[in-house]
Amino acid sequence: MTRTAKFRAAAFAAVLLAMTTTAGAAEVVVGAIAELTGSAADFGTNTARGLQVGAEWLNARKDMSGNTVKLIVEDDGTDKGQALTLLNKFALRDNAAVIVGTSSSALSASIAPRAEELKVPMITIAYSTAAVEGRQWVFKATDTIPHQFQAIANYTADVIKPKACVRVWGRDNEAYVQNSKIWGDTVTAKGVKILDDVTVLISDTDFTAAATRISSLKPDCLYLAISPEPAANFVLQLKSAGLPATTKLIGGTTMGSRIFLGAAGTAAEGTYSLAEYSPGGVNELGKKFEAAYQAKFREKPDTFAAAGFSEMLIIGAAIKQAGANPSRQAIRDAMAGLKDLETVIGKGRLSMVNRIAQYDMVVLTVKSGNLTVAPGQ
């Protein structure tokens, strides 16, 4: 070969090589719409943190068919208008392949139709299924309330076996409305009597009146469906109001959170809760997640952070399955078919069923200040 020919051949080979390596190394943009300010700031902030830890985790493991993930988190101020604007911005301007958002049921229901219109996969941890129903492109990273809360309802009726209970829930949050209904229906069907229903607003802090009212009824058990801090407050005010020590306190996922335990102190002893995320993690992955989260944010993760991390794991698995430089359609199809994915929530394994993540929940109880698996499961 002449020298110029050799040179040309080498150049051609170099370009070919470059093309093959770059062909697989796509940076998949994930746009996260998060409530970092506004009324849902607490949940949104932690979810976003879980996402960040998840993105770093995925990029470090390098197990996504050569792709990397670029996570962009923006604040929607717990405002529908801003959430919609962000969705359009991510999908149309930033070329996001996946949209994550939001932790608020109201907001996710509002932006889901647009994601469907734009044909971009969207995944949310919101409790309501309104965003997902009847759509093809919207996914839910947390299990449905009926499926989750069967566990605690059955445990109450079959193991704790109270005679009469009082139900309390936050009326301005659909998740709490729904889960308290499911619990109530199940235990009533199994013979437990519900003495009284008390509703509060989750922004309330003064429960003295309600606590006094409930304590005077002396129920065998009390079911609480409110967010962690109000729940802790409520429990403390109940004890102050003279709730008998024999009354069993049962709650959903919020009462298993570290926030609740920290806030309620000794009053949390003996409470039952449902674990989406068990502090300390249920498996190796959970322990590693906690360590990574703690290293980055200097505090332990809560259930929202864990859900955010799990969301990222789902996205990562979908990208991996979709192959190098995946299209939105490919990611969507892969996500819909995920089975038996290792995660940090529930008992550690989830599968996508009708675009909703399904996993088994654990009932926990507090013994000597620590969360342990409740006996009799």
Partner 1 sequence: MLAQQLFNGLVLGAVYALFALGFNLVFGVHKIMNLAHGAVFMIGAFAGLYGVLGGLPLWLAVLVAALCTGLLSVTIDALAFRPLRTSSEAEFAVLITSIGVDMILVNLALRVSEAHTMRFPFGVVPVEPLLVFGLRITPLQLVILGAALLCGALLAWYLYRTSFGRQVRAVSSNERAAMLLGVEPRAVYFQTFFISGALAGIAGVLIGLAFNSISFSMGEPYLLRGFVVLIVGGLGSLPGAAVAGLALGILQTLTVAYFPSGLTDLIVYSVLFLMLLVRPNGLFGGAIADARMARR
Partner 2 sequence: MDLLAAYQPLLDLFLISAGFALSQYVVLRAGVFSIATAGLVSIGSYLAAILMTTYGVSIWLAAPAATLVGLAFGLLLSIPLARLRGPYQAIATLAFVQIMLALALYAEPLTGGAVGINNIPKQVSTLGLLFCVALTLYVLGSINRTRPGRIFDALRQDEGVAGSLGISIAFHHTLAFALSGAIAGLFGALQAGYIYSIVPHQYGFALVAGTLAAVILGGRRSIWGPVVGAAIMTVLPELARPLADNRLLLIGLLLVVMIVFLPQGVVDGLLQLRRRRRGQLEATSKATPTTTGGMRA
Cα angle at 281 between 278 and 282, to 5 degrees? 85
| Residue 72 found at the interface with partner 2 (CB under 8 A) | no
Of 59, 88, 154, 283, the one binding partner 2 by CB under 8 A? 88
| Residue 308 found at the interface with partner 2 (CB under 8 A) | no
| Residue 82 found at the interface with partner 2 (CB under 8 A) | yes
Q: Give the nearer residue to partner 2 in terms of CB position, either 151 or 356.
A: 356
Candidates 19-27, 103-111, 179-187, 262-270; binding stretch for partner 2 (CB under 8 A):
103-111
Number of residues that bind partner 2 (CB under 8 A): 33
Report the amino acid identity of residue 147. Answer: H
Strands 193-200 and 221-225, by their bridges, are unpaired
Sequence-ordered list of residues with C-beta below 8 angstroms from that of 170, at least 6 positions apart, any chain: 176, 177, 199, 200, 201, 202, 225, 226, 227, 230
Among residue numbers 24 through 53, which ones bind partner 2 (CB under 8 A)? 36-37, 39
Candidates 14-22, 35-43, 281-289, 362-370; binding stretch for partner 1 (CB under 8 A):
35-43
Residue 99's SS3 state is strand
Q: Is 298 left (phi over 0), alpha (psi -120 to 50) or beta?
A: left
Number of residues that bind partner 1 (CB under 8 A): 33
Measuring CA to CA, which residue among 93, 111, 113, 129 is closest to residue 34? Answer: 111
CA distance 296 to 377: 35
Q: What is the DSSP letter of 70?
A: E
CB 96 within 8 A of CB 32: no
| Residue 70 found at the interface with partner 2 (CB under 8 A) | no
CB 188 within 8 A of CB 194: yes
CA distance 371 to 98: 35
Peptide bond into 129 cis (omega under 30): no
Residue 36 CB, nearest approach to partner 2 (Å): 6
Of 33, 98, 109, 264, the one binding partner 2 by CB under 8 A? 109
Q: Give the nearer residue to partner 1 in terms of CB position, either 236 or 275.
A: 236
Which of partner 2, partner 1, none does residue 216 bind to, with CB < 5 to 8 Å depending on kind?
partner 1
Which of partner 1, partner 2, none does residue 128 bind to, with CB < 5 to 8 Å depending on kind?
partner 2
Tokens 């940090």, located at residue: 344
| Residue 139 found at the interface with partner 1 (CB under 8 A) | no
Residues that bind partner 2 (CB under 8 A): 36-37, 39, 74-75, 77, 79-82, 84-85, 88-89, 91-93, 105-106, 109-114, 128, 130, 134, 171-174, 177
Residues that bind partner 1 (CB under 8 A): 36-37, 39, 41-42, 44-45, 171, 198-200, 203, 205-210, 212-213, 216, 229-230, 232-233, 236-237, 240-242, 259, 263, 265
